[in-house]
Amino acid sequence: MNEFDYIEKYFKPLTNEVARNLSDDAAVFKQRSKYDLVVSTDTLAEGIHFFGNENPKDIAKKSLRVNLSDMAAMGAKPIFYNLSISIPKNKVKYFLPKFAKGLDEDQELFGLKLIGGDLTSSLQNINITITIFGETLNKKSISRGGAKLGDLLFVSGVLGLSKIGLDNFKTKLKGFSVAKNKYLFPEPRVDLGLSLNKIANSMIDISDGLVQDASHLAKNSNLSIVLDAEKIPLPLSINLKKDILLNAALYGGDDYELLFSCKPTYENSLKKVSLEQNIKLTRIGFFQKFKKEHILFQNQHQFYQNKSYSHF
């Protein structure tokens, strides 16, 4: 089969009317009045974001979910996405059918459709780029720069689990299956993001570790964040020393939990959201006037280290 045959067989069934049957050069979407279109792009590269020998269905789900997490961080409802894949010729027959199956399952789970993209050959590695589209009411998307002096900092779930799963991915020791699944299948907090739309005034999804992503909120709000290391929710069921767990939470990546600020008066509202969605929400810090560093630690035994993940 050529690339058009693969697109016809595996990707056209994933589309809706916006995609125009993938027969034109572009999709056409009539934007609803009173709504803003929210757009984000992520690329996943073999050897960097995934090993390459995972089940292609799992790779598909991770690729889509990291983009869905960006929609969650904006308080946006995802509606459709573009997909571009570069893949070696000797992998395409095995990879694409399973990859498309993974997309199909998660499209059904999260309620969105494919509207277009591109399929090309590559010399060695697989590269996957997704551009995702969501919507919010006009001017209601949540930015990284809306925190105010005295606001509280909250985080969803537990932190560090994905980093632990990555570090122990090839181990056969018992007790790491949950961490490995967290690395393979991030849980985008889309419903939570929508629920926080009227509560949070700044928000980000944690993809590069708590310290680095918290610093984005602080910098964009021209404030400092004071973190309480003792309050950071850790996966204590994992049989590792606490300092290893804390290090993974502070500087590891791929957690895709939501980190957000809000006024102290919203704490009771957050308790209600936590119960309704069965998601742990933990207060881990507060915002103050900028003092030398954007990230400070309330616990004297902790201090900022610049060792979060960087591509370059």
Domains of the chain: 3-137 (3.30.1330.10), 152-297 (3.90.650.10)
Confidence of residue 308 (pLDDT cuts 50, 70, 90): low
Mean pLDDT of the chain: 92
Q: What is the DSSP string of 80-136?
A: EEEEEEEE-TTTHHHHHHHHHHHHHHHHHHHT-EEEEEEEEE-SS--EEEEEEEEEE
Span 226-252, average pLDDT: 92
pLDDT at 309: 60
Confidence of residue 19 (pLDDT cuts 50, 70, 90): confident
Question: Residue 236 is encoded by which pair of tokens?
Answer: 């204590």
pTM as predicted = 0.92
- Summarize pLDDT for 193-218 with one digit per residue, the tens: 999 999 999 999 999 999 999 999 99
Of 20-29, 51-60, 131-140, the range with the lowest mean pLDDT is 20-29
* 288 neighbors 228 (Cβ within 8 angstroms): no
Span 155-167, average pLDDT: 95
pLDDT at 158: 97
- How are the residues of the chain apportioned to helix, strand and coil, as percentages rounded to the nearest 5? 40, 25, 35
Span 167-184, average pLDDT: 87
Residue 301 carries which DSSP code? Answer: T
Is 80 exceeded by the pLDDT of residue 80?
yes
Which helix (DSSP H) or strand (DSSP E) does residue 66 occupy? Answer: helix 56-73
Q: Which residues pair with 39 in a beta bridge?
A: 133
pLDDT at 35: 94
Span 110-128, average pLDDT: 95
Span 238-246, average pLDDT: 91
Which helix (DSSP H) or strand (DSSP E) does residue 258 occupy? Answer: strand 258-262
Residue type, 26: A
CA 232, CA 247: separation in Å to the nearest integer?
11
pLDDT at 83: 97
Question: Residue 70 is encoded by which pair of tokens?
Answer: 């960006």
Biggest CA-to-CA distance, the chain: 62
Of 152-156, 166-170, 278-282, the range with the lowest mean pLDDT is 166-170
